[in-house]
Amino acid sequence: MSSVETLVDRARAGDPRAVARLITLVESGDSALPQIAALLGPTSVKARVIGVTGAPGVGKSTTTNELVRTFRKLDRRVGVLAVDPSSPFTGGAILGDRVRMQDHATDPGVYIRSMSSRGHLGGLAAATPAAVRVLAGAGCDIVLVETVGVGQAEVEIASLADTTLVLLAPGMGDAIQAVKAGILEVADVFVVNKSDRDGADATYRDIQGMIALGERAAGQWRPQVVKASAARAEGIEGIVEAVDKHHEWLARTGELVRRREHRAASEIEALVLAELRARFAELPGVGLQELAAQVAAGELDPYAAADRLLDEVSS
Amino acid sequence: MSSVETLVDRARAGDPRAVARLITLVESGDSALPQIAALLGPTSVKARVIGVTGAPGVGKSTTTNELVRTFRKLDRRVGVLAVDPSSPFTGGAILGDRVRMQDHATDPGVYIRSMSSRGHLGGLAAATPAAVRVLAGAGCDIVLVETVGVGQAEVEIASLADTTLVLLAPGMGDAIQAVKAGILEVADVFVVNKSDRDGADATYRDIQGMIALGERAAGQWRPQVVKASAARAEGIEGIVEAVDKHHEWLARTGELVRRREHRAASEIEALVLAELRARFAELPGVGLQELAAQVAAGELDPYAAADRLLDEVSS
């Protein structure tokens, strides 16, 4: 039995160290990834994936922490992936909100893990679903994917979730920012966190107003808005209720299957493109670097260069 | 002579309507793109590309406007591309700062154009350099690329520029945000705009402090920090000076060629990947959608699916 087989078997049996080790392999883009995916098999598609996102300071980690507690009371096994989209330039990032979830450190029904995209060929778009599969294979019913900040990367990761929670806080002017960042379109449930603070009602009304203005076809999901104060453990049941309601809607309408097929298509495509990109570097003929030098010097136009590269890849 | 040939000839002669029409073709991902690139030829790599980015409200459009005025005084022909990264979901975006540059409407040495990524196969990563080539072919010495907001998309577009200006304004706490968004790594020149306001000195010191903390190899460019007040037309010469100084450094060290080769490589790669992605949709065998359905159902793992797709693409 290979060491990877042993690891997968141990992860299946719920060994947290084996789970951690597998996610490390996934994160580093290890060559054993295809084998891990094959060994994890069909069980790995059954977990519900819930995205938790929002601007820095809205209380994502605190809310995630309380969600874990509530799901555990309902006896569901929970995995948490805290995703750091990283700088594309240094591979590093300054994090203000690394997971503070020591509460669950001794609970065998909870796996918590920070992730970065460092070194992974397909980036987080490929690493995150692979890590979700590991957690699902280890028996998690629910995987919470917490993303830092709000931006393009977060929108992409949100699209990997069955249900996406967008957190807001009073007085951050983030309703407008949310619309600008395309967040309105990805949110299934809005949480107005810190709702004990001044301005919570205004934020609640703002976001309700924006939802009312948004165009939706008949039968489409209308985003729910929930007030909470995660730091006081208030309103968490309301969030879980909204999430469950959304999940029922997904299942009833067939949208769950559609979302998961869309997610699978994105993942396959990311893997194929990453593989092709790796092949560019090893082409026997005129490589990408040489073509790029000719384009930069004005000796070749980029479309002609792309044609030549395509010929080499396909031959 | 084809209509595209006529358009390129007219654009070369400086006809603004021909320039506008060509950029529209570029934006829509028209099938004439390779022909346009071939007709524009080597001249199109000579323009200097300057990126202007920063959070909403820092005064990007006003600053760009003043930069155009100053470059015109120096008798340089200037193109402006105002890039709207668009929501990936609706293709739309709420813009607070559409270009307000009527000042230059009657100046034949200035082309101003808003761009969106709608419909373009390779997205803005492919459309922006193509539009830069059109402007360069029309005789622009300098192309200013203004991007809305600060985020992943902006970082990517910044990487297309020879020199990137990052605008900050006092009291927006954006120094920290800039670091989080990876902006510190892409900035060649920081502009503390609205420097007549309270807190400008603090912002100036913050960013200087962060630059001092940043690691740089010997001989690497140390980002310049310039104070300005674009609304009062103050400090603009200082920005141009810093930009020129950076350009001299780029040319002297060979970094200009390296950046442009890197940019060309990214563009070629984006074109190849876009073409391959389009081919996935037309594969004669088991297509991406069917493989995705099998993965979503747990009948196939995504790596095995990617392998099958790769076999079909390469065969």
Kindly report, residue by residue over B16-31, the tens digit of the pLDDT. Answer: 889 989 988 888 777 8
Q: Which of residues 17-76 of B touch A (CB under 8 A)?
A: 33-34, 37-38, 40-46, 56
Shortest CA gap B273–chain A (Å): 7
Residues 6+ apart with CB under 8 A from A290: none
Of B46, B271, B304, the CB nearest to A302: B271
The answer to whether residues B43 and B136 touch, using CB atoms and an 8 Å cutoff, is: yes
A305 sits in which H/E element: helix A302-314
Find residues 223-282 of chain B whose CB sits inside 8 Å of chain A. Answer: 257, 260-265, 267-269, 271-273, 275-277, 280
Per-residue pLDDT at A115 exceeds 70: yes
Residue A280 main-chain phi, psi, to 5 deg: -55, -40
Angle between helix A124-137 and A16-27 (nearest 10):
160
* pLDDT score of B95: 33
Q: What is the average pLDDT score of chain A?
A: 80
**Parallel, antiparallel or unpaired: strands B110-116 and B189-192:** unpaired
Decide if B89 and A155 are in contact by the 8 Å CB cutoff: yes
| Residues B301 and A34 sit within 8 Å (Cβ to Cβ) | yes
pLDDT at B78: 94
Residue B163 confidence (pLDDT) above 90:
yes
Q: In angstroms, what separates the C-alpha of B188 from chain A's closest C-alpha?
A: 14
- Tell me what pLDDT residue B102 has: 54
Q: A38–B301: do the CB atoms touch at under 8 Å?
A: yes
- Residue B272: pLDDT band (50, 70, 90) is confident
Return the residue matching tokens 């060290």. Answer: B253
d(CA A187, nearest CA chain B) in Å: 12
* Residue B170 CA: distances (Å) to CA of A195, B194, B201: 29, 7, 8
Per-residue pLDDT, A97: 33
- The larger pLDDT score, comparing residue B190 to residue A298, is at B190
User: What's the confidence (pLDDT) of residue B233?
Assistant: 92
Nearest-CA distance A106 → chain B (Å): 31
Q: What confidence score (pLDDT) does residue A103 get?
A: 62
Give A89's contacts in chain B (Cβ within 8 Å).
155, 182, 185-186
Which of A150, A268, A312 should be substituted to probe chain B, the one whose Cβ sees the most B Cβ atoms within 10 Å?
Answer: A268
Predicted local distance difference test score (pLDDT) of residue B89: 32
Interface of B with A in 128-147 (CB under 8 A): 129-130
> Residue A281's pLDDT is what?
72
pLDDT higher than 80, residue B259: yes
Most confident of A4-13, A167-176, A262-271: A4-13
Q: Is A291 on the interface with B (CB under 8 A)?
A: yes
Range picked from A15-29, B65-79, B207-221 for highest mean pLDDT: B65-79
Evaluate whether ipTM surpasses 0.85: no
Cα–Cα distance, B29 to B51 (Å, whole number): 22
B277 vs B120 pLDDT, higher one = B277
Domains and CATH numbers, chain A: 43-253 (3.40.50.300), 281-314 (no CATH)
Q: Token digits for A224? A: 């729910």
Band (A158; pLDDT cuts 50, 70, 90): low
Q: Per mean pLDDT, which range of A65-69, A257-261, A283-287 is the poorest?
A: A283-287
Q: pTM here?
A: 0.68
Q: What is the mean pLDDT of residues A202-222?
A: 84
Q: How many Å from the N-terminal Cα to the C-terminal Cα in chain A? A: 38
Cα(B95)–Cα(B84) distance, integer angstroms: 8
Give percent above pLDDT 70 in chain B.
Answer: 78
DSSP designation for A109: T
Mean pLDDT in chain B?
Answer: 80
Residue B183 has a pLDDT of 65
Question: How far is residue A35's CA from residue A33's CA, in Å, rounded to a whole number?
Answer: 5
